[in-house]
Amino acid sequence: LLFSACFFNEENQLYLISSNYCFGVPEQIKVYDINNGNKIKEINDSKENVLFIDTYFDKKNEINYIVTANIGNVKSYNYKENKVYHIYDNNDNRNHNSLIITESEGIIKLIESSSTGRIRIWNFHTGKIISTIMIYRYGEIYGLCLWNSEFLLAGCSDKKIKIVNIN
């Protein structure tokens, strides 16, 4: 099943990146040329399913990353090297449903949601947890939206949006 997709720009070429979700099938991240639909490459690193996929361009280091929220953890991949950059893992073996990457206070932060009702904020480059915020004790957090680099909107399984000041 196609579960998530996003656009990606590499050297002025536009690509589509897709992920799968199929129980028992290894992670498959596929990159397609948007102009002709040809598959450029696949990244298959683990036996986990990808629930959410996005990209991040590190301007300072001029590196493109693919980031995934998986059933067991969150990962970032160095696109050019086609390998895992970091695994953001708190050993909770829960679904990680979405993520956002932002910069504040000079730190690149990866913010991810989980089926445990928690939001975790990680240092993107070190892979260390900066903070954990419990916002919904009895359900899942599905989607995240960052507003003004200060407020996080979280779509929850109770059909409500929680607003959290992440500072």
Helix and strand numbers, DSSP H then E, in the chain: 0, 15
**pLDDT tens, position by position, for the chain (167 residues)?**
667 788 888 888 899 888 766 666 656 788 999 999 899 888 765 566 777 888 999 988 899 999 988 777 888 999 988 889 998 877 666 777 788 899 888 899 999 887 777 888 999 999 999 998 887 677 788 888 888 878 888 888 888 888 888 87
Supply the DSSP symbol for 48: P
Q: Can you give the pTM of this predicted structure?
A: 0.84
pLDDT value of residue 73: 83
pLDDT at 130: 93
Distance CA 52, CA 68 (A): 6
- Model pLDDT, residue 116: 78
Q: Rounded to the nearest 10 degrees, how much is the dihedral formed by the CA atoms of 68, 73, 74, 78?
A: -80
CB 84 within 8 A of CB 73: no
Give the phi and the psi of residue 61 in degrees, each rounded to 5.
-100, -5
